[in-house]
Chains A and B, each alone.
Chain A
Amino acid sequence: MKKHPQLLSLFAFIALIIFVVVPFVPLILSSVSFSWRWPDVLPESWSFRAWEYVLNDGRTWQAVGISLWIALIVTAVNILLALPAANALVRYPVRGRWLFEAIIFAPIIIPPFISVMGIHLTFLRLGLTETVLGVVLAHIAPTLPYMFRAVMISYQTLSADWEDQARMLGARALPRFFHVVLPHLLPGILAGASLSVLISLSQYLITFIIGAGQVVTLPILLFPFVSGGDPGIASAYSLLYAAIAIAALVGMDAALKRYYQLNKAPQDLAKGGKP
């Protein structure tokens, strides 16, 4: 009875690794291969030319910069829009609550490209196509619901008593927000921000429709390569793109952990504990 489950878990573990990790193997091999003919399982000669091309090309870093820039603006706008809205829906009796929720969550269900294709000609008339601003506006609808949801969950655990207590101690609205409300909401905001950045980074179609090939984000730069370009360069770009998406997530996570550590230290001091 003891040996059997262990064998089973080993098998489960191997199966999971094959499912998750092995698909990346050809991507990595292809990015460092010089020539890789069928039926060789491993390339016959290796080379970093694809990586040299990708990392030395100015367009790569421009695309990385623009992608992150757009994602950051979108996320900042989302925070500004989601905080008051979540506050209202969680802590006030709102009539027509279902309607507001339906409006804000709608872009999760209805694919955003439907709206973007419809608004395309209007954006064209307003001069918003081919601009970063236009792309930012297009990215807000698909990302805002996730930020809103994350902040809403945080608000649900924030007791109004804490704010009342701060009020009794004489804190005005702004200090109350920055010292009581915001620290409590920060984990939710960061969770929402990582989703918002991730979703903004992965938009191809709506960026392409509004940016019209002039706003070159990473997916726009990548597409011609993965749809029949040089496999080595396509693989190197794919790995870079995936790495940036993962780094954005891991970075947010690390920022959160660091925030907690920094905040814990003064509290320990205040309690008279060791730093």
Chain B
Amino acid sequence: MWRKSKPYLLLLPAAATIILLFFGGIFDGLLKSFGYFPAIGETELNLAAYDRLLHSASFWESMELTLRVAALSSFLSAVIGALIAVALFFLNESMKTNSPKAWHRLFQLPLTIPHLVAGYIVVLLFTQSGFVSRVLAAFGWIDNITEFPVLVNDPFGWGIILTYAWKEAPFVSLMLYPVLSRIHGSWREVSRVFGAGNWQFIREIVVPAIMPGWAIATFIVFVFTFSAFEVPYLLGVTYPSVLPVYSYQLYTSGTLSDRPEALAVNMILAAITILLGLVAYYFSKRWNVLKGWG
């Protein structure tokens, strides 16, 4: 009996903690999104919050902004991340070493920088009076602050997108580099024998090899940026705001009646991220990308 139940007893503390603290919180939120507030005498379940939400223009504008920011952020991270990985690969090739060197760590630096700091870096770089604008002025390309586009606290979300592109590109390259380094030097020589140049080697061999990992890494960035709060809270505008910020605004608006709506936004977010997570998991299993992820 002990032998049979031992693994379950070993799993119990971790699983119970997550169930209680995490799923308990989600369930708590779910009940309250149905209008269940025993503290103020509301014990009836209804869908009023969801109904109000799905008929409000600000929710759909939030949704649109969130999708746009997540799509552009993950696209930019994917492109820049691939460029970094390929650049590191060729740098190692030309130095005739295969082992990752200490300075590779340098290119993961943005990953370790906290999100709020990364956001502030983008503020200092890209506000109208920021560093990039000063450098452009020094070269005489702009004469006035107002000639520099509004990229921070803008309704389109460029500041948020730039922050994620900077922070998540190293993540994409981190996922790609191991795949790239498995492409042996001999493959390169074989491709040369067959008359392939650098460009053809990249197109015919490198790109197909890294494609699955690249797609999954991009997708993970998309799911993450879709549900992240800190950076859009710092770099966005009050209206429209991305869904997590929208939910927070509703939650702290002061009126108790907005809270079920805030929690309803959360439940919709949770449902979407679970769906996206399952899709990512399915494809990563199929393509065998995330080895060691269970």
Contacts and interface: CB of A to CB of B under 8 A. Distances in A.
Interface of A: 5-6, 8-9, 12-13, 15-16, 19-21, 23-27, 29-30, 38-41, 80-82, 84-85, 87-89, 92-94, 100-101, 103-119, 121-122, 125, 137-138, 140-141, 144, 148-149, 152-153, 156, 198, 201-202, 204-205, 219, 222-223, 226-227, 231, 234-235, 238, 241-242, 245-246, 249
B13 A20 contact: no
B21 interface: yes
A85 B11 contact: yes
B56 interface: no
A50 B22 CA distance: 40
Interface stretch (B45-53, B176-184, B207-215, B223-231): B223-231
Contacts of B237: none
Given A20-B110, A114-B25, A12 B91 contact: yes
A105 B87 CA distance: 33
Contact of B112 (A8, A25, A117, A245): A245
A227 B120 CA distance: 8
Contact of A113 (B94, B123, B229): B229
B117 interface: yes
Interface of B: 6-8, 10-11, 13-15, 17-19, 21-30, 32, 39, 80, 83-84, 87-88, 90-91, 93-95, 106-107, 109-110, 112-117, 119-125, 129-131, 133-135, 137-138, 145, 166, 169-170, 223, 227-230, 233-234, 244, 247-248, 251, 262-263, 266-267, 269-270, 273-274, 276-277, 292-294
A9 B90 contact: yes
Contact of A27 (B120, B267, B273, B276): B120
B114 A144 contact: no
Contacts of A226: 116-117, 119-120, 123, 234
Given A111-B228, A202-B115, A238 B121 contact: yes
A39 B27 CA distance: 53
B113 A242 contact: yes
Contacts of B30: 118
Given A9-B94, A114-B266, A87 B18 contact: no
Contacts of A223: 116, 234
Contacts of B119: 226
- What is the interface of chain A mostly: helix, strand, loop, or mixed? helix
A60 to B, nearest CB: 15
18 contacts: A15-B83, A39-B133, A85-B10, A88-B7, A110-B274, A111-B229, A111-B270, A114-B270, A117-B25, A118-B26, A119-B21, A149-B292, A149-B294, A153-B292, A205-B229, A223-B116, A226-B120, A235-B120
A38 B135 CA distance: 10
Contacts of B39: 121, 125
A114 B21 contact: no
B129 A219 contact: no
Contacts of A114: 25-26, 29, 266-267, 269-270
Shortest Cβ-Cβ A-B pairs, 3 listed: A118-B29, A115-B25, A119-B25
B32 A88 contact: no
B166 A23 contact: yes
Given A15-B87, A104-B18, A109-B274, A27 B124 contact: yes
A5 B269 contact: no
B95 to A, nearest CB: 8
Nearest to A141: B22
B4 to A, nearest CB: 9
Given A84-B10, A235-B120, A26 B131 contact: yes
Given A13-B91, A104-B14, 19 more contacts: A9-B90, A12-B91, A19-B169, A20-B110, A26-B131, A39-B133, A40-B134, A41-B135, A82-B14, A88-B8, A101-B294, A109-B273, A110-B26, A114-B26, A115-B21, A140-B17, A223-B234, A238-B121, A242-B112
Contacts, number: 247
A103 B80 contact: no
Contact of B18 (A41, A103, A242): A103
A1 B35 CA distance: 71
Contacts of A88: 6-8, 10-11
Interface centre among B22, B25, B94, B130 (most CB of A within 10 A): B22
Contacts of A222: 116-117
Nearest to A145: B18
Contacts of B230: 204-205, 219
Contact of A5 (B94, B112, B134): B94
B269 to A, nearest CB: 6
B9 to A, nearest CB: 8
B88 to A, nearest CB: 7
Contacts of B24: 115, 119
A26 B124 contact: yes
B114 A115 contact: no
B30 to A, nearest CB: 7
A76 to B, nearest CB: 13
A105 B220 CA distance: 14
B121 A27 contact: yes
Contact of B263 (A5, A118, A242): A118
